[in-house]
């Protein structure tokens, strides 16, 4: 830690490459690596265009669950630590996951309504629906259960999921096709303008002093390549991760690996620059995170 602090105080151009582990302290599951299972399914296998085409109901319920959890989550000290670093260093660059704007061009941003549509409401515990002769009793009991009780953990495969017809899933008001979550799936390209802006940062940097690799396996391209680009600019690498198996290739004795929760470690690591008397919660936004969640699908 002492050696890292000495290097940090001499660092000017700093890059942070952040993965899902950055938000683990906020209570958001990473769904990658060990334990990356949702309803007995490999969560990564749900994050593809093919999975959405085959079963949009399941994929929408998976992302709706993540969205529901994200809307309840609060920033953790790691987020505030990086935000404070950004305030104090105008050459700092933070790279994290991006969203796209493909297809018909319709994008819905900063939608904090939960559920995003009635059919995607997280089911709640409550009275068991008992069918009547005309079915009304079951309907009334189900309505009562949805209003009361606590959220059921639909990540548990023992909780039954309804097969939602496509017409009940989010639809585009512009072209009326099925909407999809606004994320970049495996097999898709990242936004060109984002990639170009990152390339410009690296091209215009004579040297990069430090790259922080936080809560990511650093094995998915092109993000993983930025570590090598930073190294070519003479950067030292500091990895903050719970899993020592997630070390990027090429680590040397110039680099650091800090094993643990980013929410605990990052404020300590950045202390010489950001200080230690910050009120983490005072900076939190009451309006929720800045999210882009919906873009139009092709069918």
Q: DSSP string covering 220-285, please?
A: STTTTHHHHHHHHTT-EEEEEES-GGGPPTT--TTSEEEES-HHHHHHHHTHHHH-S---GGGG--
**Whole-number Å distance between alpha carbons of 100 and 56:** 18
Q: What is the pLDDT of residue 31?
A: 64
Binned at pLDDT 50, 70 and 90, residue 252 comes out as: confident
- 3-class SS of residue 115: coil
Predicted structure pTM score: 0.69
Are 39 and 155 a contacting pair, CB within 8 Å?
yes
- Average pLDDT, stretch 31-50? 76
Residues 62-95 pLDDT 10s: 999 888 888 888 888 998 999 899 999 988 998 8
SS3 at position 297 = coil
192-243: pLDDT as tens digits: 887 888 888 888 888 899 999 998 877 777 777 888 899 989 999 999 988 8
Q: Helix or strand or coil: residue 65?
A: helix
Residue pair 299/106 in contact by the 8 Å Cβ criterion: no
Q: Is the pLDDT of residue 267 over 90?
A: yes
Give the chain's largest Cα–Cα span. Answer: 77
């Amino acid at each position: 830690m002492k050696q890292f602090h000495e290097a940090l105080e001499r660092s000017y151009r700093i890059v942070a490459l952040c993965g899902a582990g950055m938000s683990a302290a906020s209570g958001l599951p990473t769904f990658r690596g060990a334990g990356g299972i949702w309803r007995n399914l490999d969560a990564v296998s749900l994050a593809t265009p093919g999975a959405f085409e085959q079963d949009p109901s399941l994929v929408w319920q998976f992302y709706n669950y993540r969205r529901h959890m994200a809307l309840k989550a609060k920033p953790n000290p790691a987020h505030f630590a990086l935000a404070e670093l950004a305030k104090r260093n105008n050459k700092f660059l933070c790279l994290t996951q991006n969203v796209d704007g493909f297809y018909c061009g319709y994008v819905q941003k900063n939608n904090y309504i939960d559920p995003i549509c009635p059919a995607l409401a997280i089911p709640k515990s409550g009275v068991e629906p008992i069918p009547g002769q005309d079915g009304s009793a079951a309907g009334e009991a189900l309505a009562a259960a949805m209003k009361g009780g606590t959220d059921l953990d639909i990540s548990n495969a023992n909780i039954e999921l309804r097969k939602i017809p496509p017409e009940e899933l989010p639809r585009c008001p512009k072209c009326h096709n099925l909407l999809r979550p606004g994320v970049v799936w495996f097999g898709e390209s990242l936004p060109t303008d984002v990639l170009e802006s990152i390339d410009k940062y690296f091209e215009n940097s004579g040297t990069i002093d430090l790259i922080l690799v936080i809560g990511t396996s650093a094995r998915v391209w092109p993000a993983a390549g930025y570590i090598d680009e930073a190294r070519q600019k003479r950067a030292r690498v500091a990895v903050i991760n719970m899993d020592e198996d997630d070390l990027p290739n090429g680590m040397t004795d110039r680099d650091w690996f800090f094993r643990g929760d980013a929410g605990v470690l990052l404020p300590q690591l950045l202390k010489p620059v950001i200080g230690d008397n910050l009120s983490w919660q005072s900076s939190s936004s009451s309006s929720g995170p800045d999210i882009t969640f919906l873009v139009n699908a092709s069918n």
